[in-house]
Amino acid sequence: MSKQRVIVIGGGLAGLAATMKMAELGMSVLLVSFLPVKRSHSVCAQGGINGAVNIKGEGDSPDIHFYDTVKGGDFLAHQPLCKDMCHHAPYIINLMDRLGVTFNRTPEGNLDFRRFGGTLYHRTAFAGATTGQQLLYALDEQVRHYEVQGLVEKMEWHEYLGAVLNGDGRCVGAVIHNLRSGEISTEKGDAVILATGGPGLVYGRSTNSMVCTGTAVTSAYLQGAKYGNGEFIQIHPSAIPGRDKLRLMSESARGEGGRVWVPRKAGDSRKPKEIPEKERFYFLEERYPLFGNLVPRDVGAREIYDICVNDKLGVHGEMKVYLDLTHLTREFLDHRLGGILEIYEKFTGVDPREEPMEIFPAVHYSMGGIWTDYTRTEEGLIDHQSPQNQMTSITGLYAAGEADYQYHGGNRLGANSLLSCIYTGLMMSPGVLNYVKNVPEAADDVPEKLFTEATKQWQEKYAEIKKMSGNENPYALHREMAEEMISNVLIVRENSKLQATLEKIDEFEERWKNVNCVDTTDWSNPVPSFINQLWNMIQLSKIITKGALLRDEFRGSHYKPEFDLNQPSDFRPESYLEYEKQKAAGKVNEEGFNPEHLTYMKRFAENNVKWLKSTIATYQNGGPDISYEAVDTSLIAPRPRKYD
Amino acid sequence: MPDTITFKIKRQDSESSGSYWETFVIPHVPNSNVISCLMDIQANPENSKGEKVAPVVWECNCLEEVCGSCTMVINRKVRQSCSALVDQLEKPITLEPMSKFPVIRDLAVDRSRMFGALKKVQAWVTADGYHDLGPGIREPQNHQEIAYKLSECMTCGCCVEACPQYSLNNNFLGAAAISQSRLFNMHPTAKNIADERLDTLMQEGGIADCGNAQNCVEACPKSIPLTESIAEIGRQVSGKLWSNIFQA
Ligand SMILES: Cc1cc2nc3c(=O)[nH]c(=O)nc-3n(C[C@H](O)[C@H](O)[C@H](O)COP(=O)(O)OP(=O)(O)OC[C@H]3O[C@@H](n4cnc5c(N)ncnc54)[C@H](O)[C@@H]3O)c2cc1C
Ligand code: SF4
Ligand code: SF4
Ligand code: FES
């Protein structure tokens, strides 16, 4: 058989982890990235990476981590994958330490761990406040070493446009756009992995980086791949307002003791430090005595919305609350949180060690992504040799990292993404190579014509884009579309608004056809790419909005007040387990339960039968067709979430 | 407060064409930074003469000064454009591409030489494999603090832009790569090939090319102690020179 290779698109944590692992196993890899991989979005991650190493002797374990992850995701995550991931987490952290990540240390020289949202344990390893940057650099260095050895070839400043599919619909390569010369060509690959990150730019301003448009996975969707759980978009409770970007204030600020509050009196115009302790409303601590400021993100974002919109207690009457670190010493803060405090200071001009920060919720992460598969073992773990792991519904096309949809269900826990990215890249590699070894025909032997046709098709498409001479500026159109998404498909969702937004998106799609390609040169011209990406973002906004419209329930980050089951405040999730046990045994002793609880539990069970499913979008007749698929919940029985 | 901001931007259409200055006047919006202004120009690419022109090309990604993409020369000073707050800058604001790298287009330059330097100094840990080999080596907190600072280098290029010794026509590795050598030479396992790194740094383009002007350390946005790194590598190189002499 001819010499084979795998194409990896994207060099964030997921793409680099897969590249380095496959290279270790002897496979040639072509690594394609929009920009130098060292500048990938993963560098933005601040807070840390989870793994139940139990350094603090708290009795933490991978199974508790697994439970927190599944509960945090409101039971929509795929349990065997989560279990396997959490069991590999301590090893992954050790591996990254060996590869040179400068993790913070305990006095004895062990790795130090901090707290993060959605757990009661110190489970998050961190390198100052730039953990993502440090993890990415370590992987980047490994890949650079393989580049020198000739196993990895990099094509940076290149954009993935689409997959090359053979007559059987199998992926045998990728269409690539050289962002400098403007040339469009194809690269052959026996498997292609999309590790292209999340889609924050669909919302315009978010905590994401500028290349996070979701364009690569949307292109796969347009080619027939299934897209999963699109409507589950994580809103982070704490971001810093900004014109170009909503910079994140990491959850680690709360993990290290930061307290969230608002003045008790609406419209209080005093400076925060002039407001005495008893006139401050630490609403998270009061409402969630157990988890306090470290409730999961969906809960935190909703509470801030509630306090600002419903109670009108937002700082200066705006959608803002205080995040206060001023009770901690400068020395402690600089040591543990230096990087993020500098960001706050740099971009607002205010020193957060002296003044409480003003923060507000912002689009942060997509739990949804391209649909991918896996093979579980009897014990509920993952068979790492299976070629199905991380394969999309297009044979030979894989996905990993924020681009996929399986690990975080309805809401992701902080510091679980860096883990899922690295885990997935490493885990999937043996299976991808097994797939490659057994392909019926190597990409190299596929008739040339297939590739020249794919090239030609995209060259024509870009030529068409360059001819567009309407009167809409593509960047301005993007801003408008993003405003619509921010206004109506965010924390609190209402069907009438979602319906109206869907119609609006159709208008944007029409207006897209009237776009002006404001730069038509060939050399290093980002405009045609952006116009193509904008088209994809419009398609993706349909997936998100339609998924949200059709899902008539409240789960994780997807909150529809109309369908809130209103958990009674004195309810305990254990009663639900008892109720389910009795049900399974054939008879529920209804008198044994508080009647209000019983009604709630019945509704909860009914709702799960209907909605505890993955949303699947497939491209049909110019838009997403939505259906639902079962999720493996065999390891941890679904139950109501509770954090107080 | 003026209600417009004037930008003078040094533009260049391709690698080989000449450069020219173009002026843009855009509405002033509070809390802008240079990138949000470049985005405003993108959404309405019109120069001060009212001519429709191609939007300015520049690089950026993270917008929070951790990816290193958006370095350019702003009012004669090299820095990141995402963290350059317009209200703190003198007007008109001038933007130029870095001068130590080939220009690709407008404000975008080709910094592959810096990544090449990381290859030359073997800035990596040589691992036995990516399987489970147990925990890494314990390390004291003060060691981590030094290493962490060095590892924040984002290959942005400010240090080499400011360096009088680094030029388009020589092959000086530059302060960033020297500092990375120090980082890996202090790592408990990467130091196993410290000698090979020093060999590279003793060759042409290595540490001897540094004239100790110390501009680099002042330009570094991450406050990386570059002159300390240069001094430390200088010591390691002299140590090696001495031992070479004794072994000979
Ligand atoms: C501000 C911030 C802080 C965060 N902090 C944390 C944290 O503390 N802990 C945690 O666990 N998670 C955190 N996250 C989430 C986490 O950082 C991301 O989910 C994760 O880094 C995504 O990695 P990735 O490998 O999937 O993709 P990315 O790092 O986004 O990389 C994508 C790659 O794909 C390339 N690419 C994209 N499209 C194309 C295309 N069409 N053609 C070619 N190349 C393409 C890009 O160039 C890039 O190399 C944070 C996120 C943000 C926004
Ligand atoms: S000390 Fe001076 S010569 Fe040496 S690298 Fe720094 S700026 Fe360049
Ligand atoms: S040492 Fe500083 S200035 Fe030089 S590339 Fe690194 S971060 Fe930039
Ligand atoms: S855009 Fe990343 S450093 Fe400015």
The separation between CA B174 and the C-alpha centre of its own chain, rounded to angstroms, equals 10
Residue A235 has pLDDT above 70, yes or no: yes
**Phi and psi based region of residue B164 (left: phi greater than 0; alpha: psi -120 to 50; beta: remaining):** alpha
CA of A41 to the centre of ligand 1 (A): 4
Q: Tell me, yes or no, whether A556 lies in a domain.
A: no
**CATH number of the domain at B4-109, please?**
3.10.20.30
For residues A100 and A111, give the distance between their C-alpha atoms in angstroms, rounded to a whole number: 12
Assess whether A115 and A96 both reside in one domain: yes
Encode pLDDT of B15-49 as tens digits.
999 999 999 999 999 889 999 999 999 999 999 99
Assess whether A182 and A262 both reside in one domain: no
* N-terminal to C-terminal alpha carbon distance within chain A: 60
Which residues of chain B make contact with A210, given a CB cutoff of 8 A?
A: 60-63
Measuring CA to CA, which residue among A154, A198, A163, A183 is closest to residue A45? A198
Residue A129 has pLDDT above 90, yes or no: no
Assess whether A209 and A107 both reside in one domain: yes
pTM of the predicted protein model: 0.96
For residues A626 and A51, give the distance between their C-alpha atoms in angstroms, rounded to a whole number: 35
Q: Tell me, yes or no, whether A55 lies in a domain.
A: yes
Domain boundary (A346, A362, A378) is at A362
Q: Domain containing A497 — which CATH number?
A: 1.20.58.100
Q: Residue A621 is part of which domain span?
A: 565-630
Assess whether A124 and A23 both reside in one domain: yes
* pLDDT, position B213: 82
Contact B11, B22 (CB under 8 A): yes
Assess whether A56 and A197 both reside in one domain: yes
Q: Tell me, yes or no, whether A417 lies in a domain.
A: yes
For residues A209 and B157, give the distance between their C-alpha atoms in angstroms, rounded to a whole number: 20
CB A39 to CB B68 under 8 A? yes
Which residues of chain A make contact with B97, given a CB cutoff of 8 A?
A: none
**By alpha-carbon position, which residue is closest to atom 3 of ligand 3?**
B220
B20 contacts chain A (CB < 8 A)? no
Half-sphere exposure of A51 (CA within 13 A, CB side): 26
Q: Domain containing A212 — which CATH number?
A: 3.50.50.60
Percent of chain B residues past pLDDT 90, beyond the cut: 93
Q: Tell me, yes or no, whether A27 lies in a domain.
A: yes
Collapsing DSSP states into helix, strand and coil, what is residue A360? strand
Sequence ranges of chain B with CATH classification 1.10.1060.10: 112-246
CB pairs under 8 A between A and B: 188
Pull the structure tokens for residue B34.
Answer: 């240079």
B47 contacts chain A (CB < 8 A)? no
User: pLDDT grade, residue B241 (50/70/90)?
Assistant: confident
Atom of ligand 4 nearest to the CA of A210: 1
Q: Tell me, yes or no, whether A455 lies in a domain.
A: no
To the nearest whole angstrom, how far is the Cα of B180 from the nearest Cα of chain A? 11
Q: What is the mean pLDDT of residues A198-212?
A: 94
For residues A492 and B66, give the distance between their C-alpha atoms in angstroms, rounded to a whole number: 32
Measuring CA to CA, which residue among A200, A192, A178 is closest to residue A458? A178
Q: Catalytic positions of A, please?
A: 297
Assess whether A185 and A322 both reside in one domain: no
CB B104 to CB A180 under 8 A? yes
Number of domains in chain A: 4
- E-strand stretches of B17-115: 19-27, 71-74, 77-80, 93-96, 103-105, 108-109
CB B129 to CB A349 under 8 A? no
Sequence ranges of chain B with CATH classification 3.10.20.30: 4-109
User: pLDDT grade, residue A619 (50/70/90)?
Assistant: very high
Q: Domain containing A307 — which CATH number?
A: 3.90.700.10
Amino acid at A200: G
Alpha helices in A368-491 (DSSP H): 417-437, 448-467, 474-488
Pull the structure tokens for residue A180.
Answer: 């400098």
CB A109 to CB B138 under 8 A? yes
* pLDDT, position A318: 87
B35 contacts chain A (CB < 8 A)? yes
* pLDDT, position A2: 62
Encode pLDDT of A385-426 as tens digits.
999 999 999 999 999 999 999 999 999 999 999 999 999 999
CA of B18 to the centre of ligand 2 (A): 29
CB B42 to CB A475 under 8 A? yes
DSSP for residue A116: -
Amino acid at B35: I
Collapsing DSSP states into helix, strand and coil, what is residue A391? strand
Assess whether A246 and A228 both reside in one domain: no
Q: Which residues contact B221 (CB under 8 A, 6 or more apart)?
A: B65, B79, B80, B83, B156, B158
Q: What is the mean pLDDT of chain A?
A: 96
B39 lines ligand 4 (CB under 6 A): no
Phi then psi for residue B102, to 5 deg, are -60, 135
Give the burial class of A97: count Cβ atoms within 10 A of its Cβ; 0-12 exposed, 13-18 middle, 19 or more buried: buried
Encode pLDDT of B184-208 as tens digits.
999 999 999 999 999 999 999 999 9
Residue B121 has pLDDT above 90, yes or no: yes
Q: Which ligand is nearest to the CA of B159?
A: 3
The separation between CA B162 and the C-alpha centre of its own chain, rounded to angstroms, equals 10
* pLDDT, position B222: 96
Whether the bond into B92 is cis, omega within 30 of 0: yes
**DSSP secondary structure string for all residues of A304-356:** HHIIIIIS--SGGGSS-EEEE-TTS-HHHHHHHHHHHHHHHHHHHS--TTTSP
Phi then psi for residue A454, to 5 deg, are -60, -45
* pLDDT, position B2: 61
Q: What is the mean pLDDT of residues A181-207?
A: 96
Q: Tell me, yes or no, whether A643 lies in a domain.
A: no
Collapsing DSSP states into helix, strand and coil, what is residue B75? coil
Which residues of chain B make contact with A239, given a CB cutoff of 8 A?
A: none
Encode pLDDT of A46-64 as tens digits.
889 999 999 999 999 999 9
User: pLDDT grade, residue B246 (50/70/90)?
Assistant: confident
Dihedral sign for Cα B34, B39, B42, B48, please.
Answer: negative
User: pLDDT grade, residue A190 (50/70/90)?
Assistant: very high
* pLDDT, position A392: 98
Assess whether A595 and A571 both reside in one domain: yes
Q: Tell me, yes or no, whether A640 lies in a domain.
A: no
Query: In the CATH hierarchy, which top-level class contains the domain B112-246?
Result: mainly alpha
DSSP for residue A403: G
Q: Is the ipTM of this complex over 0.85?
A: yes
Encode pLDDT of A323-378 as tens digits.
999 999 999 999 888 888 988 998 888 999 999 999 999 999 999 999 999 999 99
Indicate the range of A340-349, A417-426, A446-455, B115-124 predicted with least confidence.
A340-349
